[in-house]
Structure 1
Amino acid sequence: MKEVTANYTLNKSPDDNKIAFVTFSHMADIAKFNKIILGAVKTWFPKDEVYYIVLNQQWRETFINWKHDLIRDNQTQVELIQPIFVDCPESARVESPCCKQEKGLIEFYDTYYHEREYSWVYFADDDMFINTRILYEYLDVMPYGLTTEHAKYLNGPLVLLSNSNSPQKLGHGEVAKIPYSCEKKDESYKYPWGQPVVYNRKAMESIITGLRLGGLVKQCLEFDVNHDVGNAIFHWMYSIPYASFPRIFNLKGVGAQTKFRTNLQRMEQNKQKLFREDVTGIHGIDFHHYFSQELFWTRRVPDSIKVFDRKGKVPPDVYFGFGHVTGFLSTDTFAKYGSPHEWKDEWHTMPTSECSKKDKYKNI
């Protein structure tokens, strides 16, 4: 198959919107690692940037040998991959992904964040495709798309979250896998999942102490959730405002794979492109041989227009969903210990009993 490269024109971030792209992975399956990690660098990854890959220490020698072999074969893209080695459990759920995000971001922050002067820090699963052309457009026009009231939050801690993950009850996740789901009716007890999550500088600097105190892992263990749902709880406890960026196509959602297969043949028969032009990302790119990082560019509407135009009409509200929750301020944990912004020596885990009940589906 002919090698495909990114076909967007803005393939390097503006100086005032420099993004650090961080993910986590493992090297138990080298072919899959190549497909996902090298596929990202060859297709959507910003030109001449660095892709930070969080790996467990057990893969250090494997990575060194892998890199040596690729350089020998003139695979120059491998030079853009910077490993961050951490000590975490190696599994698919709960502590492992939460630990990799937590320790990976700490190591990234201490080693690379300040030196390279990033404006934003992106973190997501390794099987996430991001259309960076649209993401950069979004960051460029975001101040023009938010209301005056919302725009003031751009000067403080802010996280960007996919609008496909609309605010969910805290702890809510896949049925029969995640036992706790918040039962509070108050909308302030909802927060979007952090998959992917993009931190501005003040948000990154706000949560780093909480990460050092093990806050993300502790909340993941308490609610029995992965990092994406754990992020929602963690950020909600910090009461960090969020803005949503354009739609993420999630192939890993409940029913998404079945729907994907069902619609695929019909769309191709009608000569329709699978993905809209304004799709910013795809989660689950490795689940089916039909889809990959490379094939994204042939399965979508071509980049024929700018999705955002600050000189024209204001972009649709769907691109600029915004929320600022205060629910944590009414919890017993806050009453006892105050805000996580003030915690310096200990993370005070918010128990599930403060907002949630055991999900009725746990024993199915």
Structure 2
Amino acid sequence: MNLLEHAAKSLVLTPAGIATLKSRLCTTAEEAAAGVAALGPAMIKAQVPAGKRGKAGGIRPANTSEDAESVARDILSMSIDGHRVGSVLVEQRAAIAREFYAAVLCDPVRRGPVVLFSPEGGVEIEATAAHSPARLRRHEVDVLHGFARDDAEQLVGGIDLGNVHDAVIDALLRLYDAFIGNDAELVEINPLAELTDGRIVALDAKFTLDDAAAFRQPALAAAAATEPATELEQRGSAAGLKFLQFDGNVGVLANGAGLTMTTMDVIRHFGGRPANFLEIGGEAYTKAEAALALVLDNPGVKSLVVNFCGAFARTDVMAAGVVRAWQQLRPKVPVFFSIHGTGEDEAIRLVRDQLGIEPFDLMEDAIQAAVEAAS
């Protein structure tokens, strides 16, 4: 779950004691004009869960109320990376001396937090990592030890921070505390700015909440930005199916979220692109026709993998649902089955007799065949 900039600042950074600039959230051009009248020269910033807002024209200066009204009206008419701009943050402008980058995120390889810092803030951090990897510092945190002042000092060691050294250290410590205390997957400040008056201020903020911890963070979960759903995703939700649409060409039908994700990973391993996430298991086998229609109505799908692995759920029952749906819909795309587990003999015989298709012995063989067929 992602928070928009204004929510990340007010609900995460400010309670953690990290300074931000005065601002107002506005949903109309007239409100933005009033905001600049109250705050003075400001930046008008589109509030969408997307990066590179500045490059898209979603962050612009306004010196007067008239400027603000015109700029805000333009930004509020925009869509950025598929997200319609519904509000803007009118934020007081400040004189910047230097910009830094600071973040704490979960490292999926180490399965623990990593604190990042760079003296090159205000730019795409991927570019810094690519052309000057030594300029992006990282500290891998032992969660039993935590992130202490000595760790922060080591992280910024050798970087001339001048008079703001202690303030930067303090911001890093507070950022880590905010990460842990709010069950975050990511908390990022880019830029963390040194102003000409000597203050250290967060000029932007990103925050991602661990979905599994939403019940512990109801205020953050309630403030999370909603992702725009595609027409097929809306259909899936209405049918009670967990369906996500992607831009790939290999359709996926599997039982259980873990097996579905594994299937998608193997598709990528063989150079393919999954077209969707859709698990069909448990009681969902009764919705096989709706599920199959969702996958096939994705215009990019050129082949389909059906991957069943039964333990408590019986594969023959799931296969029966898919076979009935296949006979009803009569799709033209090639389909490749992998069936293992409880009821597999009956399931394989059913697919062979009813559809004239021979399931593969190995999952990876079925998936590789689907990738080749799609390409």
Please indicate the TM-score interval, normalised by the length of the shorter structure: under 0.3
- Structure number with the higher strand fraction is 2
**Structure 1 length as normaliser, TM-score?**
0.23
